Every structure is written in structure tokens, then in C-alpha cells.
Amino acid sequence: MRKVVVITAGGTIAMTGADDELATPQLKAEDIVMTVPGIEKEADLTWINWRNKPSPQMSIGDIAELSELVTAQCETNIDGVVITHGTDTMEEVAYLLDLTSRKQGKPVVLTGAQRHPSMPSPDGPVNFADAVRVASSSLGGEQGVVVVFNGEIHSARDVEKTHTTRVDSFSSREFGPLGVVSNGNVYWYRKPVIVEEYPGGELHDQVFILNVNLGSNGYLLDELVERGARGIVLEALGGGHVPPEWMKSISRAINKRIPVVLSSSCRGRLLTSTYGYRGAEVDLINIGVIFGDGLPPKKARIKLIALLGAGYTEYEIKKRFEENFYN
């Protein structure tokens, strides 16, 4: 029987709100395990009650500590890790763990719930059971960190929360899931092509996402630079475009050796050589903006945090973002 360690971080899966009370985190790992009768027959479970927080209260420091804990557990004789976590920041936490923890070829699985245990038809028990099965899978260690939700297995790089309350909220809209869990069995469809690890160093939270909108300018970018920002992600328009009023502010940030990474409010790859107007992609390339490898803004920020934490220079950060982009 495979050994799986359960690390609890809180979230809806650990909340109760009986007697018309508002839901708050109260349940421990042993309570979550008890919601799935017979799960002890599928894996040898141990657990660590690490945090019991709503996921919007998680900090970068918390996840740095969690990354170290995952690394330490993967260096023992366990076969897999399951982390129960809140859904609001799960996609960011999963990707940061994927980039910064040393998994030693062992499955690391995040799961949670959209409906807390006091609600009708809570989804936490089935998600937890599926997560244990994926963490016990002999192929799970080849997939990097994954999110298991609603019977689907998603890559940490691709997964997004797409709805506030639906139990099928998590999806990989561009590429689809890595696999599924059906009737207690794990079925893999594909493996991630891009596999990256950048462990080590201190993870800083002074990395910001700025939304580029119709008629906007770079005033907030200037302000963040003055206040000591370590990195900036621009959620640009379309294929990677900004109003011309942004260009001076972006240039000032880059000249101060602050990496500026370009993402988009749309899905799909950024353009590189289509438009020639002021503020289009060629303009941004020429002043040294880093193209974000098709990552959505949240994920681009997480990768930039990981790269800065690992001590990469501006040139190395650009290379790590763009080495897959131009292929």
C-alpha cells in the first residue's frame, strides 16, 4: 500500500457553518479523512495540520514555507503528497509549489471544495478521495504539481479557477486536463511538455500585476517603481499591446533594472511581429519588455516571483520566460 501524507492548509474543505452560522475554517486533517469512509484501504495515510486559513489570507511567505515542507516530505519514504487548500488562490499556490519545491519524482496534489461540509452535497469528500488516488498513482510523479477537482487532473501551469461557486470551476481551458479520476481509477491522457524548477532563495511579494485598459496610462507603474517594486507584470490588451501613454513609464522601469513581463487579458500566445504602431508588440520588444510565454497574468507573476527568489539576473529571467515562446 502506497504511503501518502496529507498536508492541510485550510479553505472551504475545512470549514463549517452549521446552525446558520457563516462558514469558517475549523476542521483538522483527521476530520477531512473521516469524510471518506474506506479511504484508509486505498493508501497508508498520515497527516500534518499545517495551517487552517481561508486561501485569500495566504501570503507568499506561507507558500515558501509550504514549499520547504513539501520538499522535506518528498525526501522521506512517502510515495505522494496531498494538500487541502482553499480554491481562491489554489491555482497560484499550485504553480508556485511546482516551480519551487523539489518533488523527487513524487506526486504532489492540491484539492479542496467549493461547497463546505455543512452545505447539501459537499464536494470535498470526493475531491479528497480522488486526490489520494492520484497521489498514489505510479505515473503521478511525472506530472509535476497537479490540481484534482471534480474528477479532473490539471497541470499547475495550466489550471484556472473559472467560476465563483460551481463545482466544475477548475479547468485548463487552453489544453484540457492531464487526466481524469473515474470510478476510483486514475486515467492519464498526457504529460506536460514544459517542466521547470527554481528552488532556493527568498520569495518576495513585491511583484505586481497592472491592468492595461482603454485610455489608461503608466502612472501606477511609476508609483510602484518609486515604492520599490521588484517586478511588474502587465496585463496588456489583445496580442500584447498598450496605449502609447504607457511607453515612457515602462522604459523607466526597465532602465532601473526592474523586469517588466508582458501577459494578456486574453487567452492565446502574444504576437511578436504583426503590428507597427506605437505601443504594439514590436515597440515593447525594442525597449526590453519580457514576453510571458503565454502565461495568464497570475501565473506570470508567480513565475517572476520564483525566478527572482532563485537569484536570476534580468537576462536570465528573460531567457527563462522566452525560451519556449519563440520556438
168 and 83 within one domain: yes
Whether the pTM exceeds 0.85: the reply is yes
Q: What CATH number did the domain enclosing 257 receive?
A: 3.40.50.40
Domain assignment present for residue 194? The answer is no
Q: pLDDT band for 272, please (50, 70, 90 cuts).
A: confident
Active site residue 272: no
Question: 251-258 long-range contacts, Cβ below 8 Å, gap at least 24?
Answer: 251/287, 252/222, 252/225, 253/221, 253/225, 253/229, 254/287, 254/288, 254/289, 256/225, 257/314, 258/225, 258/229, 258/230, 258/231, 258/232
What residues contact residue 221 under an 8 Å CB cut-off, 6+ apart?
210, 232, 246, 249, 250, 253
Provide the domain count of the chain: 2
Domain assignment present for residue 195? The answer is no
Predicted local distance difference test score (pLDDT) of residue 323: 85
- For 117-155, write each residue's pLDDT tens digit: 888 899 999 999 999 999 999 999 999 999 999 999 999
Res. 327: pLDDT tops 60: no
301 and 266 within one domain: yes
180 and 38 within one domain: yes
240 and 164 within one domain: no
Domain assignment present for residue 200? The answer is no
Over residues 37-50, the mean pLDDT reads 94
Domain hosting residue 141, numbered range: 3-188
220 and 176 within one domain: no
**Residue 26 near residue 67 (C-beta atoms within 8 A):** no
219 and 154 within one domain: no
Mean pLDDT is lowest, of 22-31, 130-139, 153-162, 204-213, for: 22-31
Over residues 235-264, the mean pLDDT reads 97
248 and 138 within one domain: no
296 and 158 within one domain: no
Domain assignment present for residue 146? The answer is yes
212 and 180 within one domain: no
Predicted local distance difference test score (pLDDT) of residue 326: 58
Catalytic, out of 8, 12, 84, 89 = 12
Domain assignment present for residue 98? The answer is yes
182 and 89 within one domain: yes
Domain assignment present for residue 202? The answer is no
93 and 36 within one domain: yes
Over residues 6-32, the mean pLDDT reads 90
Domain assignment present for residue 159? The answer is yes
Taking the C-alpha atoms of residue 300 and residue 66, their distance in angstroms, rounded to an integer, is 20
Percent of the chain at pLDDT exceeding 70: 98
Q: pLDDT band for 17, please (50, 70, 90 cuts).
A: confident
Predicted local distance difference test score (pLDDT) of residue 282: 94
Domain assignment present for residue 327? The answer is no
Q: What CATH number did the domain enclosing 12 receive?
A: 3.40.50.1170
